[in-house]
Copies of this chain bind each other. A is one copy, B any other.
């Protein structure tokens, strides 16, 4: 007796409102009995989206028990770890416990494989039985629990040549460096806002690789210490200390290091609100801005560019692009300094 075949996108588990996809849904069915085209995962670690975890930590005043309470509350209410304030999720690591019979021959997964889901927690059916440990500094939470991967759900099998927490921390932001690799052309001037953060460092690495010796990569950070720490890694050509919520200040700072020419590509990796305008003013009039930050406001970006008469192209960061896991994991193999820093900070 099976449950039958569900929708590849998971609409069969949406409880409220009916007819929508699992991500925008208010509440989804997190019963841990799989449909024939689903994968059951024994969850080990949640890597909560940085904007979401920052909000939860703030709401909890940093108190671990309160953090647990908030996280369990979200999952009880919604059937998924979909932060109602930030709208964002994160991803998870776990082991394949069961594969629906309809996926045989369609998936390369085997029971027992260790994998990271590359779809957001904001659409993944999840049950948390217990929160075992919280690693506040790296947005990771170890749990006992289970989750469901839909047929369309993307994932990466954890590579055997690096520790799994390292792989997880990289895969969580895999879209950013992969998109950077596609956007940056030789000779480009590239600004990475929040370049000292996790996704920021990976973007700097890819930007420098693609812009090459004729390009210029500029790392923007708002804490002098953080910039000093990252300088020895050699990921950028210039380091700029600026608060990216101060649009005019950021513009002046970027003007200084580009002889007034500004950036061809601006990559925004800071998970704080009100950095849209700074990103726009840091770019050339015909520049391209890639918003990877989940704190980005659509209207602030759209009206901001119009308000200053800028002809910039502004892209909504898509966490997925073909080969993004391979591109991001490869950085850990290519760059000793980055691997060491990621091991020290996130793994």
Give CA–CA (A202, B86) in the complex, Å: 35
A residues with CB within 8 A of B: 7, 9, 11, 19-24, 86-89, 118-120, 122-123, 152-154, 175, 245-249, 274, 276-277, 291, 294, 296-322
**Known contacts A120-B307, A297-B298, A314-B318, then 8 further A-B pairs from the complex at CB < 8 Å, ordered by chain A residue:** A20-B247, A87-B300, A119-B306, A154-B309, A294-B299, A302-B319, A310-B320, A311-B320
The closest CB in chain B to the CB of A121 belongs to: B303
Give the distance to chain B from A209, nearest Cβ to Cβ, in Å.
Answer: 21
Please judge, given known A-B contacts A24-B304, A86-B299, A274-B24, whether A246 and B19 are in contact too, CB under 8 Å.
yes
A-B contacts, 28 listed (Cβ < 8 Å): A7-B248, A9-B248, A20-B246, A20-B274, A20-B277, A21-B277, A21-B304, A23-B277, A24-B274, A24-B276, A24-B304, A86-B299, A87-B299, A88-B303, A119-B306, A123-B303, A153-B309, A154-B309, A291-B298, A298-B298, A302-B318, A310-B318, A310-B320, A311-B321, A312-B318, A313-B315, A315-B315, A315-B316
Chain B residues contacting A303 (CB-CB under 8 Å) are 23, 87-89, 120, 122-123, 319
What is the CA–CA distance of A294 and B7 in the complex, to the nearest angstrom? Answer: 30
Q: Which residue of B lies closest to A11 (CB)?
A: B248
Contact check, A277 vs B318: say whether CB atoms are below 8 A apart: no
Q: Which residue of B lies closest to A289 (CB)?
A: B316
Q: Are B306 and A21 in contact (CB under 8 A)?
A: no
Asked if A298 and B313 make an inter-chain contact with CB atoms under 8 angstroms apart, the answer reads no
Q: Which residues of chain B are near A305, meaning CB under 8 Å?
A: 318-320
Top 10 closest A-B pairs, CB basis? A306-B319, A87-B299, A314-B316, A154-B309, A298-B298, A306-B320, A23-B307, A123-B307, A305-B318, A296-B298
